[in-house]
Amino acid sequence: MRGPHAIGRAGAAVLVFIGWLAGSPGRAGEASGPSLAAIQVAYESAKSEAGGVHDDGLVIRAADCQQDRPGAYSCQITFTASGGAAGRLYFDVIGIDRRPAGWTLVSGLCKRHD
C-alpha cells in the first residue's frame, strides 16, 4: 500500500506532462516567480548553512508558485531524494524570497525524507 504522498511512475509522468503543458509558474522566467533552477540553488544554499540537516540528493522536479507579496512566494514542489525509494516523488510547500543576493529558502525542505 502506498503512503499518502507517494504516486507511481506513470502518475509522475502525467504530472510532469501537465505541468509542462500548463507552463507552470515554477517553470516560467523569474519575472513571474522562482524557476526550478532558482529553487534548487536556494535549497543547496540552505543545505550548506544547515550543517547536515538537509538531504544531499534532493532534486526539485516541479513547482507551482503563488506570490504572497512582492518578492515572496509560496511554492508547492515535487522532488526526489536519493535517500528515498527509487523513483519516488515527494511533495512539500516551501517559502522562498527574492533577496539582493538571489532567491532564499525561508521555510520547508528542512528535514531528511525517508
Total domains, the chain: 1
Are 76 and 93 a contacting pair, CB within 8 Å?
Answer: yes
Does a structural domain hold residue 89?
Answer: yes
So what's the pLDDT on residue 3? Answer: 43
Does a structural domain hold residue 4?
Answer: no
Does a structural domain hold residue 114?
Answer: no
Whole-model pTM? Answer: 0.65
Average predicted confidence (pLDDT) for the chain = 75
Are 34 and 75 a contacting pair, CB within 8 Å?
Answer: yes
Does a structural domain hold residue 3?
Answer: no
Q: What is the pLDDT of residues 70-108, one digit of tens each?
A: 999 999 999 998 777 777 898 999 999 999 999 999 998
Does a structural domain hold residue 18?
Answer: yes
Does a structural domain hold residue 13?
Answer: yes
Does a structural domain hold residue 112?
Answer: no
So what's the pLDDT on residue 61? Answer: 94
